[in-house]
Amino acid sequence: MTGIVAVLECRAVSKSFGALLALNGVDLALREGEILGIIGPNGAGKSTLFNVIAGLERPTSGTVYYRGCSMSGLPTHAVCRMGIAKTFQIPRFFPRLTVLENVLVAGLYGKGAGLREAQREAEEWLNFVGLVDKAGSPAAKLSISERRRLDLARVLATGAQVILLDENMAGLSHNEMEAAVSLVRSVRDRGKSLMVIEHVMRAIVGVADRVVVLNYGEKIAEGSPGEVMRDPAVINAYLGEAYA
C-alpha cells in the first residue's frame, strides 16, 4: 500500500480473554471507498475484531490506526466521533422509541448534531434505507429485515466514514439479501468505507471487493472473494469440501 494511507489499519492486533487468544497478531488495512469482507468460522474472532476497532474492547497488544493516527485507548464515543461506527451482531435499539427517534438518537450521539440537523438527516437516512413509511412506528414492531435496515440507518446517522456491519444480513430471505447487498453498495457510493462480517458466501461475493479470513484469531487468507474461496486453507478451515 505504498503511498496510500489506509482509512483504517490494524497492526499486530491481539486480544486475549484469560487463556483464550481471540485475536492473534492480526494485520489488515481498509482502503478508502472499499468494502472489505471478514469471514471465518464461529468463534474465529470476527466480532472481537470489530469490538477492538470500535473501542468497545482494548487490544491486549497491537494498534488500530484511523487515517494514520493511533486510536489506542480511545473510548467508543471518541472512536465514533472520529468517524467509525458499528452495528451489533444482535441489533440494539430502543424498542419503545419510534423508528425515527432511534435514528435521531444515533445522530445526536454520534455527531453531536443539533436537533434540527439531526432530525433532517434522520429522515434522509430512513428514506435511504426504505423505512420512511415506518418512521412513526415503535421500533419493536419492525420485522427482521426492517430491524437490519434500522441498524444501518443508525450507524449512517452517526456521520461515520467507516462503517462496520456485523452480520447485518443474517436471517434474510433471498430477495431481502439481494436488496441488502445493493443497499450496502450504495452506502459505499456515498463515500463510505465498510467492513462487513457475513457467513453467507453469496452475500460476501455480492458485496466485498476484498476478503480477509480469520481462523482461531489469526488471519489465514486475504484476497478477492474468488481467490479466498479457492484457497485450500480457507476450504479446510471454513468452507468445507462442498466448495472445493
Q: Which of 7, 8, 14, 45 binds ligand ATP (CB under 6 A)?
A: 45
Binding flag, residue 48, ligand ATP (CB under 6 A): yes
Binding flag, residue 42, ligand ATP (CB under 6 A): yes
Minimum CB–partner distance for residue 1 and ligand ATP (Å): 25
Q: Which is nearer to Mg ion, 47 or 158 (CB)?
A: 47
Q: Which of 14, 24, 47, 215 binds ligand ATP (CB under 6 A)?
A: 47
Q: Which is nearer to ligand ATP, 200 or 235 (CB)?
A: 200
89-148 binders of ligand ATP (CB under 6 A): 89
Q: Which of 44, 103, 122, 213 binds ligand ATP (CB under 6 A)?
A: 44
How far out from the chain centre does Cα 108 lie? 20
Minimum CB–partner distance for residue 44 and ligand ATP (Å): 4
Q: Which of 14, 47, 102, 158 binds Mg ion (CB under 5 A)?
A: 47
Segment interacting with Mg ion (CB under 5 A) among 88-96, 156-164, 178-186, 230-238: 88-96
Nearest 10 degrees: Cα torsion 21, 74, 165, 243: -30
Minimum CB–partner distance for residue 96 and Mg ion (Å): 27
Cβ neighbours, 10 Å, residue 126: 24
> Where does residue 189 rank: exposed (0-12), middle (13-18), buried (19+ CB within 10 A)?
exposed
Cβ neighbours, 10 Å, residue 157: 26
What's 98's DSSP letter? B
Question: In DSSP terms, which residues pair with 203 in a beta bridge?
Answer: none
Q: Where are the beta strands (DSSP E) in the chain?
A: 8-17, 20-30, 35-39, 61-66, 69-70, 84-86, 162-166, 193-197, 210-215, 218-223
Binding flag, residue 206, ligand ATP (CB under 6 A): no
Binding flag, residue 8, ligand ATP (CB under 6 A): no
Binding flag, residue 154, ligand ATP (CB under 6 A): no
Is the CB of residue 86 less than 8 Å from the CB of residue 53?
yes
Q: Which is nearer to ligand ATP, 2 or 42 (CB)?
A: 42
Cβ neighbours, 10 Å, residue 21: 16
Binding site residues, ligand ATP, CB under 6 A: 17, 20, 22, 40, 42-48, 89
